[in-house]
Chains A and B, each alone.
Chain A
Amino acid sequence: MAMNAEPKMPTEGCSHGGCDATPGSDPTGDKPLGGVKLSRREFAKSTALIAAAITAAGCGTSALETFKQTRLREMSHDELKAFLVKLEKRYEARFGTHVDVRATPHAEGVKFAYALDLSRCIGCRRCVHACVKENNQSRPNPEGTHNNPIQWIKVLEMDKEKGIDLNEAEPYYNPAEVPREGKFYMPVACQQCENSACTKACPVQATWKEPDGMVVIDYDWCIGCRYCMIACPYGTRRFNWGEPHLPKDQLNTNTHVLGNRPREKGVVEKCTFCIQRVREGRYPACVEICPVGARKFGNLMDPKSEIRAVLETKRVYILKEDLNTQPKFFYFFGV
């Protein structure tokens, strides 16, 4: 590995995740993605440019190989732009249809947070399936060599009498109707920790926290070691054990480079608060679908946001507070 200059390995800082846990202690810190919005014309232009560049260099390197040399957040504006074009080509070849890949950057003065009303949630799993569709998660494929279904949200059924007890939680409940008598439901997905254990565990800094709060993954830099999954106290990261099964007709072609763009076998993925939607002003898909209005999302810095209203008027809970992970995902009882 040391001989190999080209994908750069980190040479300093914590690479094993166990040491000094102050936020931002990893060598690349939380340097955000540069951010690019391609207009159609720019897209066409840069396609031509890339094509010209490749011809000029006379090299036939695949998009993947070329890209592998730079990590997403170290790319200059132009590199990122070119990379998006390559990605779109890659997906065009894979799916036979155009996939729009954007890199909408974070906005200043925005810190996203989420709150979930446990006294409303009825465990209907509409959110789970809306999330799968929106975020291009791998579907079940019984015929495949390795069935690799992925769901970012897991809804746990628990006894009202016992309270929140993750050891006794049931994710496979399937009655004719929900809610069941005496039960309550707790959906769990990435908690978007401010002091995230997963990002510190990553030996290649392929995962980091963006300034607006989401913990994201560079799918092309991820080496699939799954240290982050072990570090995460909430069990909310997912791994593509097999080739993702994503039929063309179920593809969401509206994607963000750090979010729902289609993944490959061998990489980790997880909830990003629907980065492709929220960076463009929309609510996450799970918030939109929730039939009981249990899911609240917004900007912590905005006094008019739902999230602030929750924090100011309700008692909120976070999972495993003693670990000091500082989730930006709150649970509350709206009653």
Chain B
Amino acid sequence: MDLRTLVLQPTTRTAGRKLLLDAAVALAAGVLAYGCATQAKKAAIDEPDPIHTTAAKLPPAELGLPPNPIKYNDDKGETFAVPKPPISDDYWPCTQCHDNSSPVDRTRRVLKEEHTKIILEHDAEHRWCLDCHDAMNRDFLHLASGVTITFDESYKLCGQCHGDKYRDWRVGVHGKRTGEWNGKKQYLLCVHCHNPHSPHFKPLKPEAPPLRPTLYR
């Protein structure tokens, strides 16, 4: 037996196009995607969630987030447990500099004093910083409706324009959930994978390829 024969030797060219029996059974038992999402949502709210509960008990500074009185006040009431947003520590809190001592400059411009590495490559013709960041309190983001949200809810911001991805994300199809497959889950925020200012997923260096059988036989 030659190791080389372990390389896939297909008898057909393409994968099939229909669900197999099992999937069909699963489907038959089926809940529509939406119903499914609704259930997930319910669970996220009803059950005591250890991830969120611990987070809520911590003093805000430890989580890197300000206390937020309006956190659960959006119209859909959808909140998911997420890991700490990937904001650089030395920038937090934003209000250490953005203390409203000088007037807000809403003009589109090249930033020269601070945040010089941030280049907006995200539908930049139509967008500027304060479409997402709250002008009066930089520790918050805001939705198109004007409702402010915390950085650990930034998925709501993204979901306004990327509804399809957001729906997939809620049920774990887009993005990633960690934790337990049958229990408590944490959702990676969109911004854990996509830089909000330049969201295209950045290429990675691949890990080592397998050794060729000829090299070790």
Contacts and interface: CB of A to CB of B under 8 A. Distances in A.
A291 B176 CA distance: 9
Interface residues of A, number: 86
A326 B175 CA distance: 27
A317 B39 contact: no
B19 A124 contact: no
B70 interface: no
Interface in A110-151: 110-111, 113, 117, 122-126, 128-129, 140, 142, 147-149, 151
A149 B36 CA distance: 43
B177 interface: yes
Given A178-B206, A234-B8, A309-B36, A172 B212 contact: yes
Contact of B36 (A163, A233, A304, A330): A304
Interface string B141-175: 00000000000000000000000000010011111
Nearest to A153: B210
A111 to B, nearest CB: 7
Nearest to A122: B204
Interface string A309-335: 111111111111111001110110010
B204 A308 contact: no
A201 to B, nearest CB: 14
A43 interface: no
Interface stretch (B21-29, B84-92, B102-110, B127-135): B21-29
Contacts of A313: 33, 168, 171, 173
Contact of A310 (B16, B20, B173): B173
Nearest to A113: B22
Interface stretch (A55-63, A235-243, A253-261): A235-243
A316 B23 contact: yes
B58 interface: no
A96 interface: no
B53 interface: no
Contacts of A320: 10-12, 15-16
Nearest to B215: A147
B12 A322 contact: yes
A278 B182 CA distance: 9
A223 interface: no
Given A111-B22, A171-B210, A317 B36 contact: no
A141 to B, nearest CB: 9
Contacts of A142: 216
Interface string A234-276: 1100110100000000000000000000000000000000000
Contacts of A178: 203-206
Nearest to B174: A334
Nearest to A307: B26
The interface centre, meaning the residue of A149, A293, A297, A300 with most chain B CB atoms within 10 A of its CB, is A293
B40 A318 contact: no
Contacts of B179: 283
Interface residues of B, number: 61
B176 A312 contact: no
Contacts of B173: 117, 296, 306, 309-310, 313-314, 334
Nearest to A326: B20
A101 interface: no
A167 interface: yes
A144 B176 CA distance: 40
Contacts of B32: 312
Given A308-B26, A309-B173, A163 B14 contact: yes
13 contacts: A142-B216, A149-B210, A172-B210, A281-B183, A302-B182, A303-B36, A305-B181, A306-B173, A311-B19, A313-B168, A318-B20, A320-B10, A334-B168
Interface of A: 110-111, 113, 117, 122-126, 128-129, 140, 142, 147-149, 151, 154, 156, 163-167, 169, 171-179, 188, 194, 226, 229, 233-235, 238-239, 241, 278, 281-283, 288, 290-293, 296-306, 308-323, 326-328, 330-331, 334
Given A304-B36, A317-B16, A326-B21, 14 more contacts: A125-B206, A140-B216, A147-B216, A165-B13, A165-B14, A229-B6, A292-B193, A299-B182, A304-B40, A309-B172, A311-B26, A317-B17, A320-B11, A326-B22
Interface of B: 1, 3, 5-23, 26-27, 29-33, 36-37, 39-40, 43, 168, 171-183, 188, 193, 201, 203-212, 216
